[in-house]
Amino acid sequence: MVEEAPNREAAAEQGEPFLDSSLPDELVGYRGPAACQIAGITYRQLDYWARTKLVGPSIRSAAGSGSQRLYSFKDILVLKVVKRLLDTGVSLHNIRVAVEHLRNRGVQDLARLTLFSDGTTVYECTSPEEVVDLLQGGQGVFGIAVSGAMREISGTIHDFPAERADGAEIVPVEDELSRRRRDRQTG
């Protein structure tokens, strides 16, 4: 069960997310093996979660033997969050409910979320005040800052082969770190 955390004031955003042009657009996808490495899961987990419809590829599903699933950046982010929830002992039933809430949000919305769980219920917090209220209420044992998972993924995703669902060529986007390295070498 996913519940919104108690909120004593109107939700203030946790600050502007880091999102920029270095993130792939919604037509750029990654095949199963790359998605596994980026999210830190096994191919067996990926396959099981896709077959049971926990987290499936939003760009392209498998269509028989030899076809390749194609996972979006958001799909990989949800895979990473699911892995973290499982690692902390949240039940698969509650993870399924949490994933439904995550699916209905855009990437920028996800960047503003922090998920907390007391092992039974998953709470979503969108402001520092909600986090404090949740912790002061004696609830919440661990938290997952979705923006932190996004930063981890965006730092490594460009190292993996990607393809566009529309078949167009992928134009590599230089992230901030690469730009700084290039400037240092040429400057």
Q: Is the pLDDT of residue 35 over 70?
A: yes
CB 178 within 8 Å of CB 52: no
Sign of CA dihedral 57, 22, 181, 186: positive
Spatial separation of the C-alpha atoms in residues 120 and 1, rounded to whole Å: 8
pLDDT, greater one: 5 or 143: 143
Q: Residue 116: enclosing H or E segment and its boundaries?
A: strand 114-117
Measure the CA–CA gap between 186 and 141, rounded to whole angstroms: 48
pTM of the entire predicted model: 0.76
All structural domains of the chain: 2-6+24-186 (1.10.1660.10)
Task: Please report, rounded to a whole number, the percentage of residues in the chain having pLDDT higher than 70.
Answer: 82
Q: Please, are residues 29 and 59 in contact by the beta-carbon 8 Å criterion?
A: yes
**Better-scored residue on pLDDT, 104 or 34:** 34
Q: What is the pLDDT of residues 85-98, one digit of tens each?
A: 998 888 888 899 88
